Structure 1
Amino acid sequence: MASTKELLAQKLKQNTQKHQQAQKDNIKELKEFRRNVPIEDISRSPNQPRKTFDELELKELADSIEEVGLLQPITVRKLDNLKYELIAGERRLRAHQLLGKTVIEAIIIDANNDEASLLTLAENLKRQDLTDYEIFVGLNALDEKLKKNKQRLAKSLGLNREDMYKYLSYEKLPEVILKDLDAEPNLLGRTAATAFKKFLSDHLQQLSEAETVLLKAWEKVKDKKLEQTKAAAYAEKLFSQGSDKLTTASVVRKIEYAGKVAGNIKLSDKQLKVSLNISQIDEASLQQLENFLKELVQKNEKV
């Protein structure tokens, strides 16, 4: 029968297997060596996508390390000021701090900023408990040069391009939603975020109204009264109801030219909207249009 020490060692090994291979795959081409590094000399990675750390899991990891030792060293890179920056192993580092330890075994590698950011994200992507929003945070923090070629970036991180674009959908969401996700990153998955993005892009001409109804749907998601996968459809329903009310309270006129509809004019009790189906306009015509609109505004103000 296995001893308690052996069982703890087995459990810790299972917990670390998910990110061991990621580190091997990504640092094998870089110069590396091992040593015990003072914990006070290690700074957190600015590319760490993880927003939350479960305190109970950290305590369990600390207990395991105290019993059987550290089975997998953390990974750091050397900085110019003789300090180190963490690349992989923040849980293990935090567990050492819980234990009051002053040093930790580390694999020290030579890596530039781009390599370090990719390594940190790749290590985290291998962990199943990282949320979709946290993956977006990691992707969004990468240098613009790395993000430019999305196909190459996806390949280097082991993602398919379709998933890459789903993760990046979060960047198009309202700031209010992003702030909520900073606090609770598991509230919205990448598929629902993609649906949110599509809903907003489908209603660009009435973006303010679209964001308003989407936030109403979002409040229901936060209150556990609506499934996140149904939120975009719910917002669409609210938007359609609002559009029906606007249409009945508005005057709409078509702009016709040469027997075809070239645009429309919509007048409600709050605003006038003019839409023209043209792709370009010369400077002189644009100036004439601007002058006419200014006169119209001035006339309306006098009234």
Structure 2
Amino acid sequence: MKSNDFPGNKRNRTMVGLRQPEPIPGANSSVVRRSTARADMLKNAGINNEATPEDVPTIKPLEGEWLSGKSALSDIPVANIVQSKYQPRMVFDEKAIDELATSIQAIGLGKPILVRPLPEGKYELIGGERRWRSVKLLGWTTIQALVREMSDGVAMLLALTDNNQEDLSDYELGRSYHRILENGEEQSQRALARRLGVNVSTVSRCLSLMQLSEKIRSLLDTNPTLITGNYAKRFLEFSKTHLELVETTVISMAKDGVQQEAALRHIEKAIAAATKFPASAKVTGIGFEGLGKLKIVGSRVEFKCMKGINPELLSQHFEKLLRSLDPAKVVESSD
């Protein structure tokens, strides 16, 4: 019996299970779909589906570039801007300001300044003081600014982060870090470092400068690059025992341009010279039964108490003796 599957079989058969191809959509099908989608969109927007394209209202841009409910980008009068007490930068390089003014004059202001509104149409400058100084130099009457309402704590942080894009000294950073922590905006150095996106060791190193004496910090106020965070610890260690020497040395650094390494070497040598006795220094000792031994080393007089003797009580007797003593009787003879 001949198989019906034989290739030579001329019988017309439809193969069972094969899907018939979908008809090719007509040229107007996509138009219909777009029209339907557009009609649905207009319906959802509350616009009559029968409206023509000319009837659809045009969406206009907002007046001003509003960035949030409490921020706006606009041109404000340069004369209405006041400097912020939270500005971390303490010294402004006039030459750098001139160069920035030249750049702004040539290509325009690349980044708006950051301000917060004050009463009577004034604005507090939070970020961009170098740009503000430059446009004042150019004689501009207005400047583009991001006007943003913010608390004092946020103003501190934003003033610091804005200036982080431009080099700040370790002392300037340390002052700002200290202010933020004192204000309670952040509770720890680690939390502050995390919020600013810096290493906690950087925060700690810069804060160490704030532990220097008031006299040294007053010098850093006018010359913030005088001492860096990397050397602050060594200056602090020497200050614990030889504060006057350290302060005198830092004054010479500011006056004569002495570098940190040279200053620290000078301090080390001065301390060594003050505590080292000459090999030829005469050393004598006198024993006092029941009390201890009196020792003379060069120009120093030492007394070593015996066991059981109260040094404080003994020193009181020494004090009475010395107060009753006529200095003329112990002056070295010139003969």
The equivalent residue for 1:77 is: 116
- In structure 2, the residue matched to 1:186 is 225
Q: Deviations over 1:270-293 (max 9, x none)?
A: xxxx6xxxxxxxxxxxxxx7xx98
How many correspondences in the alignment? 239
Residue of structure 2 equivalent to 1:237? 269
CA pair 294-97 structure 1, distance change in 2 beyond 3 A:
farther
Show the counterpart of 2:203. Answer: 164
The equivalences for 1:213-232 within 5 A come to: 213-222=245-254, 223-224=256-257, 226-232=258-264
Q: Are residue 139 (structure 1) and residue 171 (structure 2) matched?
A: no
Q: Which residue of 2 aligns with 1:130?
A: 168
Q: How far 1:296 moved relative to its partner? A: 6.8
What secondary structure sits across from 2:134 in the alignment?
A: helix
The residue type equivalent to 1:123 in the other structure is D
CA distance in 1, matches of 2:142, 2:177: 31
1:1-303 mapped onto 2 (5 Å cutoff) = 31-127=70-166, 129-142=167-180, 144=182, 145-146=184-185, 148-201=187-240, 203=241, 210-222=242-254, 223-224=256-257, 226-244=258-276, 248-254=298-304, 300-303=322-325
What is the deviation of 1:228? 0.6
1:256 and 1:39 mapped to 2: Cα distance?
A: 78
The one-letter amino acid paired with 1:132 is: D
Q: Distance in 2 between the 1:151 and 1:254 partners?
A: 49
Q: CA deviation at 1:72?
A: 0.9
User: Structure 1 segments of 4 or more deviating over 6 A?
Assistant: 292-296
Note the C-alpha offset of 1:189: 1.3
Worse overlay, 142-151 or 191-200: 142-151
Sort the Cα spacing of 1:255 and 1:168 in 2 relative to 1 into closer, same or farther, 3 A. farther
How far has the Cα of 1:113 moved from its partner? 0.3
Offset at residue 148 of structure 1 (A): 4.2
CA contact (8 A) 1:30 1:111 kept: no
Helix, strand or coil at the partner of 1:252: strand
Q: Give the aligned partner of residue 54 of structure 2.
A: none
Instruction: Give me the CA root mean square deviation.
Output: 3.2
The one-character-per-residue Cα deviations of 1:101-131 (angstroms, maximum 9, x if unpaired) are 222111011210000001101222232x322
Tell me, in whole angstroms, the C-alpha distance in 1 between the residues paired with 2:232 and 2:95.
Answer: 29
Residue 76 to residue 294, structure 1, CA distance change in 2 (3 Å): farther
Structure 1 pair 177/108, CA: closer, same or farther in 2 (3 Å)?
same
Q: TM-score with structure 2 length normalisation?
A: 0.62
Give the secondary-structure state (helix, strand or coil) at the position aligned to 1:142. helix
Structure 1 residues 131 and 87: CA distance shift in structure 2, 3 A: same
Q: Which runs of 5+ in 2 are unaligned?
A: 1-66, 279-296, 326-335
Deviations 1:75-103 (A, max 9, x none): 11123554211111001110111112222
Contact 1:216 1:235 in 2 (8 A): no
Report the structure, 1 or 2, having the larger helix content.
1
Alpha-carbon distance in 2 for matches of 1:102, 1:256: 83
Cα distance in structure 1, aligned partners of 2:203 and 2:304: 42
Distance 1:59 1:250, change over 3 A: same
Shift of 1:154: 1.7
CA contact (8 A) 1:62 1:98 kept: yes
Cα displacement string for residues 205-247 of structure 1 (whole angstroms, at most 9, x for unaligned residues): xxxxx022223433553424x5313433431221122123597
* Counterpart residue type for residue 133 of structure 2: R
Contact persistence 1:30–1:110 (CA under 8 A): no
What is the rounded CA distance, in whole Å, between the counterparts of 1:248 and 1:300 in structure 2? 19
Letter in 2 for 1:86: L
Q: Is the 8 A contact 1:114 1:143 kept in 2?
A: no
How many Å separate the matches in 2 of 1:42 and 1:162?
A: 36
- For the 8 Å contact 1:30–1:109, the answer to whether it is kept is no
Aligned-pair CA distance for 1:186: 1.9
Map Cα deviations across residues 169-226 of structure 1 (whole Å, 9 max, x no partner). Answer: 222223332232222222221111221012223x3xxxxxx022223433553424x5
